[in-house]
A and B are shown apart, each in its own frame.
Chain A
Amino acid sequence: MPFHRADGTSQPHRRLTLDWKDVGFRVALPVLAMMFALLIGAAMLVLLKANAFHAYAALVAGVFGNVYGFTQSLVKATPLLLVGLGICISFRASVINIGGEGQIIAGALLATWFSLAFRTWPGWLLLPATMTMGFLGGAAWGFVPGILKARLNVNEILSTVMMNAIGIQLMNFLLRGPLIDPAGVRAGTFLPQSERLPEQVWLPRLVPQTLLHAGAIIAVVLAVAVYIFLWRTTIGYRIRAVGLNREASRYAGINVPIYQTLSLTLAGGFAGLAGVIEVIGVQHRLLEGITSGYGFSGIVAALFGGLHPLGAIPASWLFGSLLVGADKMQRAVQVPSALIDTVLGLVVMFVVGSALLSRRWVARRALAAPRNEGGQP
């Protein structure tokens, strides 16, 4: 992956030579971290008196054993990838966005309201408009902590967490009041869910008899778009520059607060998109459990993919598979799927913990490299 190091070097032709040792090392580290976490998971399984081998076998079989399981892993990977793309943007700007949950909700809420309010519109107009609303809802939820950080130096980690809590309460309120399904009210069940969305905004299903929807394709296309945005446009370059060295960027004339706000707004937008796509792709209505913790597990996927939009594609599929397999494992060996949540937490810690090894590796290779490589013979 030459793009990790090619920036700013004076020899563009070096981009073409893939440094396989470097690629191998960068891929090996997260894989090792994952294996280590799974090993600890196995130890916990043994302590819980379950057969670790059977458990993991059930997990794998749950994903690869049949078409439904496999498509389901892609269904779960879609919101993870979308949230992860936003995380790539904000973390690259050194802005830590923990607000994925609230942003997913904000996007889903605005989009749900919009498509119900304008349900008479034709699909070619309503579908893109609804998705835009989802993006905007999430973006607004990201913009608030962004502007608070830029203008008033409010720690974004804390404000995004608060925005999560506010988003959840707002959804609880709206799904029990203004947005509640009138059918549920008439039937007297008062289920906290929205009315079913108009059919013209439903995303087409890709495989019959499964939940796999076109959102998966949208997410992959957007991953490529985010890659181009971050590495091939001026704005993307500035976002990364701000993340690498705030002070240097400021001296170089980059308006740091604007790019921090922008990165958090975009991150919120992608999470909001995850929210609306989950609504129009899977359930076709807004339910309370819309986020399923994707706001947090999307961070894991992005980190695992090296905060690279293209790396986030396989990473989110991997974690989507883990989530699907965890349910199968729960049924097979009666160990709660929360075990996989625990393993995910360990993966995060081990991946960021291994960054030190990665830094030392880069330093050692820089020392070992011949002197004339820097363009100054």
Chain B
Amino acid sequence: MTETTFFTVPVAVGILSSAVRLATPYLFAAVGEAIAQSSGVLNLGVDGIMLLGAYASFFVMLSTGSLYLSVLAAMGVGLAMGLLMSLISVTLKAEQGISGIGLYMFGLGLSSLLFKVTVGTVKTVTGFPPVVIPILGDIPILGKILFQHSLPVYAAFLVVPLAWWFLDKTTWGLKIRAVGHNPAAADSLGVSVDCVRYASVCLGAVLAGLAGASLSLAMVNLFQENLTAGMGFIAVALVYFGGWRPAAIMGGALLFSFMNALQLWMQVLAVKIPSDIAVMLPYLLTIAALALAPNLTRQPIALNKPFERGEH
């Protein structure tokens, strides 16, 4: 395979379409994490929540065959994990980075434990079918790239403007950002810091659960130990990269998944680069992006700082 045949229109369309599809779990997880971080809580356990969400939705799908119940299960698991994280890092005011790692280890362990006990072997499920959007899906090249995906893909891209509207245009969003930037001031104005942080972390965790479900039901249609392989950590990195703005996070997610898609297609077409080196590209890119991240001024000032009344 020579380089001239690599860059053909069908291949380019394939890569771009994959990029849009692969961005899905990152979008759910990173937007959720952005909401949690906007309230001042760094939840590093996203990967663990995604794993449990992926397992729960896969298992429910396997045993009931209902996509709705599966998605519901993933959201429920996300909520439970969000409550656990909030309990440790908001109520008990623990060092957030470390409690997040604990949550990750818990999710990783529990998901593989439950998978081994309840399923054991590799099984596949029928996940979300692709839905071709009428009219838009028929546009020659754009239609194939953007409008021939499964439901979770569309939902993920819908979450982005919703999150922007929620954080920037609603009272709730204002409260979240107030608590993230100056909890003492928010507290003195009668906003319950703990309550807002609980809600934000839980909302973020529910989205992380959905990210897991989108992975197991719309991407690979199976579950295995450590299915996410660190995707949750990438999602956290994307939040920093995007400067806590949903639109910029989406840009970062698309860039990352584009690198991934490119790397996958290069393997498929046997381009002469060792695949292990190509797999490194997205991570190297992420480090570079973090180093050159344009705007850190939007970082919630109280991020990673537990709030205690009377402390300044």
- The chain A residues found within 8 Å of chain B, CB to CB, are 44, 48, 96, 98, 148, 152-155, 157-159, 161-166, 169-170, 172-173, 176-177, 296, 299-300, 303, 335-336, 338-350, 352-356
B101 & A161 in contact (Cβ 8 Å cutoff): no
User: Knowing A161-B233, A165-B230, A177-B274 touch, does A352 contact B88 (C-beta < 8 A)?
Assistant: yes
A348 & B99 in contact (Cβ 8 Å cutoff): yes
Residue in contact with A346 in the complex, picked from B106, B276, B286, CB distance below 8 Å: B106
A173 & B277 in contact (Cβ 8 Å cutoff): yes
Residue in contact with B95 in the complex, picked from A166, A336, A339, A355, CB distance below 8 Å: A355
Give every chain A residue within 8 A of B117 (Cβ-Cβ): 48, 335-336
Q: Classify the secondary structure of A's interface with B.
A: helix
Name the residue in A152, A158, A344 with the highest tally of chain B Cβ atoms < 10 Å from its Cβ. Answer: A158
Residue in contact with A336 in the complex, picked from B106, B108, B112, CB distance below 8 Å: B112
Q: 7 closest A-B pairs (Cβ-Cβ)? A: A345-B106, A348-B102, A341-B109, A345-B105, A342-B109, A173-B276, A349-B102
Q: Does B84 contact A (CB under 8 A)?
A: yes
Give the docked Cα–Cα distance between A296 and B277 (Å): 24
B290 & A159 in contact (Cβ 8 Å cutoff): yes
Q: Apart from A152-B292, A299-B101, what are 15 other A-B pairs with CB-CB below 8 Å? A: A96-B98, A154-B291, A155-B290, A158-B233, A163-B287, A169-B276, A169-B280, A303-B98, A336-B117, A338-B110, A342-B106, A345-B108, A346-B102, A348-B98, A355-B94
| Distance (whole angstroms) from the CB of A237 to the closest CB of chain B | 22
Residue in contact with B276 in the complex, picked from A172, A345, A354, CB distance below 8 Å: A172
Write the chain A residue with the least CB distance to B230. Answer: A165
Give the docked Cα–Cα distance between A286 and B105 (Å): 25
A296 & B101 in contact (Cβ 8 Å cutoff): yes
Write the chain B residue with the least CB distance to A339. Answer: B113
User: Knowing A154-B290, A341-B112, A342-B110 touch, does A169 contact B103 (C-beta < 8 A)?
Assistant: no
**Total of A-B residue pairs, C-beta within 8 Å:** 138
A356 & B283 in contact (Cβ 8 Å cutoff): no
Give the docked Cα–Cα distance between A29 and B98 (Å): 17
| Distance (whole angstroms) from the CB of A42 to the closest CB of chain B | 14
Contact pattern, B 60-103, Cβ under 8 Å of A = 1, otherwise 0: 00000000000000000000000010011000111101110111
Give the docked Cα–Cα distance between A354 and B93 (Å): 9
Q: Does B28 contact A (CB under 8 A)?
A: no
8 CB-based A-B contacts, threshold 8 Å = A161-B230, A169-B280, A172-B276, A335-B113, A340-B109, A345-B105, A348-B99, A349-B106
Give every chain B residue within 8 A of A347 (Cβ-Cβ): 102
A158 & B236 in contact (Cβ 8 Å cutoff): yes
Give every chain A residue within 8 A of B109 (Cβ-Cβ): 338-345
Q: Does B244 contact A (CB under 8 A)?
A: no
Q: Does B208 contact A (CB under 8 A)?
A: no
| Distance (whole angstroms) from the CB of A157 to the closest CB of chain B | 6
| Distance (whole angstroms) from the CB of A176 to the closest CB of chain B | 7
A166 & B280 in contact (Cβ 8 Å cutoff): yes
Give the docked Cα–Cα distance between A345 and B48 (Å): 10
B94 & A356 in contact (Cβ 8 Å cutoff): yes
Give every chain B residue within 8 A of A352 (Cβ-Cβ): 88, 94-95, 98-99, 102
